[in-house]
Amino acid sequence: MTKKKPLVIVTRKLPEAIETRMMELFDARLNIDDVPMSKPELIEAVKQADVLVPTVTDRIDSAVLAHAGPNLRLIANFGTGVDHVDLQTARSRGITVTNTPDVLTEDTADMTMALILAVSRRVAEGERMIRSGEWTGWAPTSMLGHRIWGKRLGIVGMGRIGRALARRAKGFGLSVHYHNRRRVHPDTEGELDATWWESLDQMLAHVDIVSVNCPHTPATYHLLSARRLKLMQPHAILVNTARGEIVDEPALTRMLADREIAGAGLDVFEHEPAVNPKLLELQNAVLLPHMGSATIEGRVDMGEKVLINIKTFVDGHTPPDRVIEGLL
């Protein structure tokens, strides 16, 4: 007798190769139109599914999970961050949650480095000048930015991405500083030539570039508050490729407008996809549409991890990327 395939509901369109494999392995219900599910649609999905495959655009909160059917036993998240999933409620209902760690590390670190360069060297402003037809030719004092060689980089969160960024930063002649919940191993510090600051406040006041690379949790909401942002030096820049909620966006916008800090490179926003209209007006802000991990290779690797997590779970084993609450 053929074993019944589990019903797997996927909330967004995934790479074609991953969707094909989903259809082969499971009773998969795909989102062909790639339109984000509404809350009622998510509720209907958790009522029916054996496995839900959401993304960062889906809010799987307690109100949604309250409607979960008896068959829903796995939420196989397509992405590393799981701040959009109520882990406590999932656990209380016996639902396992998995994610896709490691595969996006290098891609996100690349984009973080790109934003550091773009803001420091005014790349986006120069590109806009060319397209607008305002460029009249080279001049000794035109479009002057700042070199990054010899500057101090302060990394907020020395996890996988933070360490990958630190390796890149060394190659660009940056001095690496970091703040983390726990100090990294001395061998790692030595390899990266990194200086640990127990106090985030003190680090912010002493570096030239701040990069946000920690996960969004209740403890890191507005970690970079208005008070902490004011500790940064006027020539300093801020780059965020983690989560928009970690930074007090209205405070940052005001400081950029008043030139209390020199610039910012943002790939994430506090209320995305909505972007503060005042941010859009600022020349000293480089704004990207949450594309830090957007590589073909990365998305396929994410999908492969989702498939492995589902297949392992369905076969009765603990999935390799099970999320344990409190250990993010």
Report, as residue numbers or ranges, the catalytic residues: 243, 272, 290
The whole-angstrom separation of Cα 264 and Cα 227 is 17
**DSSP sequence for 148-199:** -TT-EEEEE--SHHHHHHHHHHHHTTPEEEEE-SSPPPHHHHHHHTEEE-S-
Strands (E) across 82-163 are located at: 96-98, 152-156
Neighbours of 60 (CB within 10 A): 25
Nearest by Cα to 44 from 82, 95, 9, 86: 9
* Contact yes or no for 107/298 (Cβ under 8 A): yes
Q: Which residues pair with 39 in a beta bridge?
A: none
In Å, how far are 36, 108, 170, 255 from 163, measured between CA atoms?
Answer: 33, 11, 11, 28
Q: What is the C-alpha separation between 239 and 264, in angstroms, rounded? A: 6
Question: Quick one: CA dihedral 99, 245, 241, 35, positive or negative?
Answer: positive
Question: Which token pair is 41?
Answer: 């649609």
